[in-house]
Chains A and B, each alone.
Chain A
Amino acid sequence: MRCSIEWNFAHRLVQRLGRNSDLTDAATGQVFSAADVPGRIAGFGAGFLSRGLHPRDRVLISCGLNPESVLAYLGAIYAGCVPVLVDERTLAACGDPVFAKAQAKAAWTANRVSWDGARRKGLLQMEGGFEPCPVSSVPPAPCLPDDLAVLMPTSGTAGVPRLVMVSHGNLIANTEAIIRSQSLGRDEKAMLILPVSYCFGASVVHTHLYQGGGIVFDSRFMFPDKTLRAINTYGCTTFAGVPSVYNILLRRSHLGSIPLPGLRRFLQAGGPLAPENIQALRQRMPAPELFVMYGQTEATARISCLPPDRLEGKLGSAGAPLDNLLIRVVDDQGQALPPGQTGNIQVSGPSVCAGYLDDPVATKGRFIDGWLNTGDVGSRDEQGYLWVCGRSEEFIKMRGIRVSFAEVEAVVAAVPGVFECAAAGIPHPEAGDALILFVVGEGGAHDLSTKIRHTLPPQWTCSSVRVVPQLPKTANGKIARSQLQALV
C-alpha cells in the first residue's frame, strides 16, 4: 500500500465538510461558519508546521467544549502531527505526566487556559488561534492507514491516563460504521457537551463533520435547561450523553416541557443507562430516536449499537456489533462460549487499535491475537445482541472518581470481624457506580454490615453489604471477578 493523502483522516473529513458544517460555541455565541471551517483547520495545520513542528511530532492539545479545540485537533492530524488529547479540566493534574509520557514536542491551549508545561521544558508552547489558510495552499500529510493519527487518553492506574494509539485507518473505519449504524444524513447538527478528548465526544464530532453536518458545543450543561434551549436555538438534530447526563436531564431539567421539535436522536453510551431511565426518557421524549451504544477508546470509539426499533424488545442490551466488527464472548482460558453464557467480551475488526503507547505489559493484557479484550463481562443472545454485565477490571467510577476494588477491599478487610471481602460495582442513578460488598465474616462476628458502612468514606456509595459463606476464587486463589459479577 502506498502512502497517500487519501488515508489522512482529517483530509478526508475536510473534503466531506458541507454547507451545514458550522462550528458554534453556545456559551459565547461565536460561530465558525461552514465556509470558514476548512481554512481554519488548514490554518492550524500550517500554523503548527510554521512554528517548527514536523509530521509525526506529537503535540498536546488541551480540549475544552469549544470549536478551537476541534480545529486544533483536526489541524494537527491534517498536517501529519499526532495530537495528544487532554481534557482542559484535567490539564493541571494530568498535563505534565501525559506530556512526558507522549514525548510531545509542543503544547497548544486555548487563550484563556493557563498551562505552560511545554515552556517549562524549553519546548514550544502555543496559545489561541492561527490565521486561516486556503486549503489548496496547505497540502495534507500523506500517510498509511496504520500510521498513528492521535493519542487518546483512557483511564489508567494511579491517575495517569494511558494513551491509546489510534490510527488513521481506525478512525476512518469506525467513523464510517457509526454513520451507517445511525443513518446519519447530510444535514445533521450535533449538540456536544462531551469533550473531544473523550472517545464518545470525538466520535460525535467525526461522524457529523464527515457527513457534512455541524457541531454546537455547550459548556453550560450544569444548567441543563440552557443546553436544551440551545438545541432549539441552533436547530440541533443529535444529542449525545453518558448515563449521568440523562439522569440529570430526567431529574434536574425541564426535559419534556421545553419542546425540541428538530431533535432526531439521542445517543447514549459511556456505561449502561438503567432500563427504567431508558423508558422514562422514551416517555418524556417519544419523538427523537434513542440509540444505545457500547464502546471503548481501545476500539477507537463505538463497538455496538442497539437500533431504536429493537429498543423495546432488547431493553438493557448494548446492541449488535457495528457492521465491520466481530464480537465474541470467551471464558477465562480464552475459549469461545456459546450464546447465553457469560464471559469476557472481545472485539475484532478495523477499528481495534494497536495498543497503548509505550506500555507493552498493559497492551499484551488487552490486545491478544487481533482481539481486543474489553475487560467487560457479558453474553450474547441467539440473535447476536450483546448484554454487558459489568467490568471485570478492578475499578469502578463513583461520582466521577475511579476507585480500585483493591483499595475498597483493603478498607473493608480492616474492619474487626471481617475475614475477607470482595467488591463489585453496580450502576447507581446518582453516583454512576456504587459498591456491592461480598463479605465473609469471622466466627461469631455480628452486625458486620453496620460496622462496614460506618467505616466507608462518605464519597463511596455502597449499595449493599452481603455476608456470604465464601468468595468465588480462580485456580490461583484470586477473586474470580467475572463469577462475582454474575452474583450482583
Chain B
Amino acid sequence: MEDLLAKVQTAFHSAFDVDPQTITLNTSPEDVPAWDSMGHVTLASSLEQLFGLTFDVDDLMEMENVREICRVLSGKLGQVQGALLN
C-alpha cells in the first residue's frame, strides 16, 4: 500500500504541481483546490500513464479520495496480474 501511495503522490504532483508529501490516504477534493472536474480528468490521465492502465467510467466515479483511488488501483493491478498469470 505504501508503494502504491508513493506512486499516487507522484501522480498528484504531476497533475496539480502539489507537494507529494501533503497527499495522504485521507486527502479528498476539498483539500486540493485544482482537483475539480477537469482536474479529475488530468489526475486520471496521470495515474493511467504512471500505472499503465485505463480507468472506465465506474472507476472514475469511485475515486472520491486518495484512499478510494488506491483501492481502485490495487483492484485493477490485481486484475492485470491475474490476467498475466492465466
Point out residues on A near B: beta carbons under 8 Å. Answer: 89-90, 92, 193, 221-226, 244-245, 248, 252-254, 399-400, 430
CB interface residues, B 25-81, toward A, < 8 Å = 29, 33-42, 45, 57, 60-61, 64
Residue of B34, B38, B41 with highest tally of chain A CB at under 10 A: B38
A221 touches B37 (CB 8 A): yes
B36 touches A89 (CB 8 A): yes
A252 touches B33 (CB 8 A): no
B41 touches A252 (CB 8 A): yes
B37 touches A193 (CB 8 A): yes
A222 touches B57 (CB 8 A): no
Measured between beta carbons, the chain A residues less than 8 angstroms from B35 are: 222
Query: A-facing mask of B1-36, CB < 8 A → 1, else 0?
Result: 000000000000000000000000000010001111
B39 touches A222 (CB 8 A): yes
Measured between beta carbons, the chain A residues less than 8 angstroms from B64 are: 223
Residue of A225, A248, A252 with highest tally of chain B CB at under 10 A: A252
Chain B minimum-CB-distance residue to A223 = B61
Residue of A89, A222, A400 with highest tally of chain B CB at under 10 A: A222
21 contacts between A and B (CB under 8 A): A89-B33, A89-B36, A90-B33, A92-B33, A222-B36, A222-B37, A222-B40, A223-B40, A223-B60, A223-B61, A223-B64, A226-B61, A244-B37, A244-B38, A245-B37, A252-B41, A254-B57, A399-B38, A399-B42, A400-B38, A430-B45
Q: How far is the CB of A133 from chain B (nearest CB, A)?
A: 31
List the 5 closest A-B pairs by CB distance, nearest first: A222-B40, A221-B37, A89-B33, A222-B37, A223-B61
Measured between beta carbons, the chain B residues less than 8 angstroms from A253 are: 57
- Other A-B contacts than A221-B36, A223-B64, A252-B57, 14 sampled, CB-CB below 8 A, are A90-B33, A222-B36, A223-B60, A223-B61, A224-B37, A225-B61, A245-B37, A248-B41, A252-B41, A252-B60, A254-B57, A399-B38, A430-B41, A430-B45
**Bound: A90/B34 CA distance, A:** 9
**Bound: A25/B68 CA distance, A:** 24
Q: Interface extent on B, as a size class?
A: 10 to 19
Quick one: which of A90, A92, A248, A430 contacts B37, CB cutoff 8 A? A248
Q: How far is the CB of B41 from chain A (nearest CB, A)?
A: 6
Q: How far is the CB of A199 from chain B (nearest CB, A)?
A: 18
Measured between beta carbons, the chain A residues less than 8 angstroms from B29 are: 222
**Bound: A10/B39 CA distance, A:** 34
Measured between beta carbons, the chain B residues less than 8 angstroms from A222 are: 29, 35-37, 39-40
Measured between beta carbons, the chain B residues less than 8 angstroms from A193 are: 37
Residue of A89, A193, A245 with highest tally of chain B CB at under 10 A: A89
**Bound: A114/B37 CA distance, A:** 22
Q: How far is the CB of B1 from chain A (nearest CB, A)?
A: 23
**Bound: A221/B29 CA distance, A:** 11
Measured between beta carbons, the chain B residues less than 8 angstroms from A92 are: 33
**Bound: A90/B64 CA distance, A:** 22
Measured between beta carbons, the chain A residues less than 8 angstroms from B45 are: 430
Q: How far is the CB of A185 from chain B (nearest CB, A)?
A: 29
Q: How far is the CB of A85 from chain B (nearest CB, A)?
A: 17
Chain A minimum-CB-distance residue to B29 = A222
Measured between beta carbons, the chain A residues less than 8 angstroms from B36 are: 89, 221-222
Chain B minimum-CB-distance residue to A226 = B61
Chain A minimum-CB-distance residue to B60 = A252
**Bound: A244/B34 CA distance, A:** 15
Quick one: which of A89, A224, A225 contacts B34, CB cutoff 8 A? A89
Measured between beta carbons, the chain A residues less than 8 angstroms from B42 are: 399
Q: How far is the CB of B56 from chain A (nearest CB, A)?
A: 9
**Bound: A52/B60 CA distance, A:** 47
Q: How far is the CB of A450 from chain B (nearest CB, A)?
A: 21
Q: How far is the CB of A182 from chain B (nearest CB, A)?
A: 24
Measured between beta carbons, the chain B residues less than 8 angstroms from A254 are: 57
Measured between beta carbons, the chain A residues less than 8 angstroms from B57 are: 225, 252-254
Q: How far is the CB of A86 from chain B (nearest CB, A)?
A: 13
**Bound: A89/B29 CA distance, A:** 11
